Amino acid sequence: MSDAFTPIAGRLIRWYARHGRKNLPWQRDPTPYRVWVSEIMLQQTQVSVVIGYYERFMTRFPDLAALADAPLDDVLGLWTGLGYYSRARNLHRAAAVVRDRHGGAMPRGLDALVALPGIGRSTAGAILALSHGDRHPILDGNVKRVLCRYHGVGGWPGEGRVERTLWTLAERHTPREQVAVYTQAIMDLGATLCVRLRPLCAMCPLEADCAARREGAQAKYPAPRPRRETPHRETAFLMLRDPGGALLLERRPPVGIWGGLWCFPECEPDADVEAVCRSRFGVRPATTTALAPIAHGFTHFKLDVYPILVEVDDDDGSTAAGPGEPRRHSSGAAVAGSDGSRRYSSGAAAAGPGEPRRHSSGAVVADSDGSRRYSSGAAAAGPGELRRSSPGAAATGSDGSRNRPLSAVADSGELRWYPPGAAASVGLAAPVKRLIEQLARDR
Partner DNA sequence: AAAGCGGGGGT
Partner DNA sequence: ACCCCAGCTTT
Interaction site with DNA (CB under 7 A): 43-46, 49, 81-86, 90, 117-124, 139-145, 158, 160-161, 196-197, 224-225, 297, 299, 356-364, 372, 378, 389-393
Who's near 333: CB < 8 A, 6+ residues apart? 349, 350, 377, 388, 393, 394, 395, 396, 397
Q: How far is the CB of 137 from DNA (least distance, A)?
A: 11
Alpha-carbon span 385 to 299, nearest angstrom: 13
Q: How far is the CB of 84 from DNA (least distance, A)?
A: 5
Q: How far is the CB of 3 from DNA (least distance, A)?
A: 22
Q: How far is the CB of 240 from DNA (least distance, A)?
A: 32
The secondary element (H helix, E strand) that includes residue 302 is: strand 302-312
Alpha-carbon span 315 to 102, nearest angstrom: 68
Nearer to DNA, 211 or 363 (CB): 363
Nearer to DNA, 221 or 262 (CB): 221
Q: How far is the CB of 243 from DNA (least distance, A)?
A: 42
Residue 311 known to be catalytic: no
Check if the beta carbon of residue 376 is closer than 8 Å to that of residue 384: no
Alpha-carbon distance values, 368 to 151, 268, 340, 373 (Å): 40, 18, 6, 10
Helix (H, G, I), strand (E, B) or coil at 275: helix
Nearer to DNA, 169 or 321 (CB): 169
Who's near 117: CB < 8 A, 6+ residues apart? 90, 93, 94, 97
Nearer to DNA, 152 or 265 (CB): 152
HEC string of 110-139? HHHHHCCCCCCHHHHHHHHHHHHCCCCCCC
Report the 10 Å Cβ neighbour count for 132.
Answer: 17
Nearer to DNA, 311 or 355 (CB): 355
Active site members: 39
